[in-house]
Amino acid sequence: MVTSSIQQGWEFRRPTMVMILLNAVATAMMLTGVNVALPDIANDLSVDAKTLSWIPMGYLVASAASVLTFGRLADMYGRKKFYLLGTFGVIISSIMTAFAQDVWQLIAGRVFQGICAGALYSTMFAVLSSVYPESKRGEAIGYSVSAVYLGLALGPFIAGLVIEIVSWRLAFLLHVPLALVVLYIGCVYVKTEWRTDEFGVFDWLGSALYAVGVVSFMLGIASGYSFQSGFMLLLGVLFIYWFVQHEKSYQYPIFDIHMFIKQRVFSMSCLASLLMYTATFSTVVLVSLFLQYLKGISPSQAGLILMIQPTAMACLSPFVGRLSDRIEPRVLASIGMLVTACGLGRLALLDSSSEIPLVVMALFAIGLGFSLFSTPNAHAIMSSSDGNDYGRAASAMSVMRVLGQMMSMGMVAIVFTHILGSQQITIELYDKLNFALGVCFGLGAVLCFGGMFLSLARGRLHER
């Protein structure tokens, strides 16, 4: 059964929601569980600080480069189909990554994993928006975001345990059982499919221009200070500019530039998301390094502490989702960015003598702020587009999120390269590491303050 309209029957919503929630948990566990494993990976495979940053960043670059392509293809050929294809690809790539024999095989596996995850990121909210009407959409998105945060909470803790007991390799396989269940539910119980009424023609040139531009730009950022990095940055900017000009005139673009220009709520919400994720995504990696290196605690203990932020988000997101159906998203999201900025500012002041409760308080503040931001912002983006564009709207939202995550890790790579260089982190470098962590947290706080004013300027979503 293929449809482009919103399915009202509970028989469609229940298995679809279960499929989305389980995969949201699984994907988030995959994302954060690996971060706790970074120190053990560095020791086992003799990886320097600069190369180590590419383990999370390779995944993010690949996701960012592929998400628009999958969003448009999903609108054309079926959102559920690409959602399940992405799930299958994540399973295969996770197994490949877990058995990598050196760091470059590991990074290559993460790139493949990121491409497959791009199909999930571009379709999750599109599927939900296809099933739930606007009056219920905020609540539905709230539950899905809560599931993401549950996975973010479980990932570091469970990964920390299995790293201590077995190996860091098992951290890449934690989510596979859940992903297998998702495939079963999607193939057996979700009998319908959703796609656009306007089939159109796929924009292969736009897809290629965007992918080359994003990859070149991030390679330039992560390459340090050299002629090569400058050339890659310039190449990235040129290809992205070419992409924007092409999308303006193409009849069936993969990224609707006109919607971005004309829909103020949509564009401001996307930009606010970009800043928020740039400011906050690297927090888990940075706090993990602080706890394991500067405080000397075990991976499982670090994972337990890192659960604070996503646990707060998981508990609060459904409540905030219901609020966003009644209260303007710009109000909730802007308050969230302010609270998050305060939490990041506190982390910027940490040093090796700081007490663990201060870390816990700061992480809780970030979790509270992010829960106030994330669901209302997603609700604003999806509700400012029509049913034919759910895939592209979800892709745009995912692009901003993944680009923000990528830029966050790029910021870390730049700071670490400038302060630590291409050296393994040893006790002699702990003072420099502490300074680098403080710089990254401080930059994040500044970005949140800037994003707060951008969020307030987005305009109204609900009618008076």
The crossing angle, in degrees rounded to 10, of helices 54-77 and 10-45 is: 160
Q: Which residue in 34, 10, 67, 15 sits closest to 181, CA to CA? A: 15
Task: Give residue 111's pLDDT band: very low, low, confident or very high (50, 70, 90).
Answer: very high
Distance CA 254, CA 239 (A): 15
> Could you report the per-residue pLDDT of 300-337, keeping only the tens digit for each?
788 788 888 888 877 887 777 777 767 777 788 889 99
Between CA 25 and CA 375 the distance in angstroms is 16
Q: Which residue has the tokens 């337990």?
A: 304
Contact 254, 210 (CB under 8 A): yes
Q: At what angle do helices 356-383 and 124-131 cross, to 10 degrees?
A: 50
Task: Tell me the C-alpha distance between 340 and 328, whole Å.
Answer: 19
Q: Which of the given ranges, 213-217, 263-267, 373-377, has the highest pLDDT on average?
A: 213-217
More confident residue, 386 or 170: 170
Tell me, what's the pLDDT at 464? 41
d(CA 196, CA 137): 19
The reported pLDDT for the residue numbered 447 is: 92
State mean pLDDT over 394-413: 78
Percent share of the chain, pLDDT over 90: 19
d(CA 64, CA 210): 9
244 Cβ neighbours under 8 A, 6+ residues apart: 257
State the average pLDDT over residues 196-207: 81
- pLDDT, residue 6, reads 46
User: How far is Cα 454 from Cα 457, in angstroms, rounded to an integer?
Assistant: 5
**What letter represents residue 99's amino acid?**
F
Backbone angles phi, psi at 173, to 5 degrees: -120, 0
- List, for residues 1-26, the tens digit of each pLDDT value: 545 444 444 566 788 888 999 988 98
Whose tokens are 């500012």? That residue is: 345
Residue 10 has what pLDDT? 52
Highest mean pLDDT among 116-130, 135-149, 354-368: 354-368
What's the rounded mean pLDDT across residues 410-437? 81
- Give every CB contact of residue 226 below 8 A, 6+ residues apart in sequence: none
Any idea what DSSP says for residue 7? P
Helix axes 329-348, 356-383, angle to 10 degrees: 150
CA distances in angstroms from 360 to 71, 150, 265, 338, 442, listed in the order given: 37, 17, 34, 18, 18
- Map residue 123 onto helix, strand or coil: coil
How confident is the model over 62-90, as a mean pLDDT?
87
Residue indicated by tokens 């890659």: 232
pTM comes to 0.73
Q: What confidence category does residue 43 fall into, taking pLDDT thresholds of 50, 70 and 90?
A: confident
Read off the DSSP letter of residue 194.
Answer: E
Helical segments of 255-298, H only: 257-262, 264-280, 283-289
Is the pLDDT confidence value at 446 over 90?
A: yes
pLDDT at res. 364: 93
- The answer to whether residue 421 scores a pLDDT higher than 70 is yes
| Residues above pLDDT 70, as percent of the chain | 89
Which overall architecture, per CATH, does domain 2-188+252-456 show?
Up-down Bundle (1.20)
Instruction: Supply the DSSP string of 431-459, one letter for each residue.
Output: HHHHHHHHHHHHHHHHHHHHHHHHHHTT-
Which SS3 state, helix, strand or coil, does residue 2 take?
A: strand
Query: Under 8 Å CB-to-CB from 175, ≥6 apart: which residues?
Result: 25, 26, 27, 29, 30, 33, 90, 94, 151
Residue pair 86/117 in contact (Cβ under 8 Å)? The answer is yes
pLDDT digits (tens, 9 = 90+) for 185-201: 988 888 777 777 667 78
Separation between Cα atoms, residue 307 and residue 366, nearest integer Å:
12
pLDDT at 5: 44
How far apart, in whole angstroms, are the C-alpha atoms of residue 131 and residue 16? 8
pLDDT value at residue 158: 85
Is the separation of the CB atoms in 350 and 437 below 8 Å?
yes
Q: Which residues contact 224 (CB under 8 A, 6 or more apart)?
A: 50, 417
Other CB atoms within a 10 A radius of the CB of residue 169 amount to 18
Backbone angles phi, psi at 194, to 5 degrees: -130, 135
- Cβ–Cβ < 8 Å for 364, 97: no
CA separation, residue 172 to residues 2, 94, 252, 311 (Å): 35, 6, 37, 21
Domain ranges in the chain are: 2-188+252-456, 206-251
Position 444 scores a pLDDT of 93
Residue 331 identity: V
pLDDT 10s digits, 237-252 = 999 899 989 988 888 8
Mean pLDDT of the chain: 82
Amino acid identity at 397: M
Structure confidence at residue 113 (pLDDT): 93
Instruction: Count the Cβ atoms, other than its own, within 10 Å of residue 201.
Output: 9
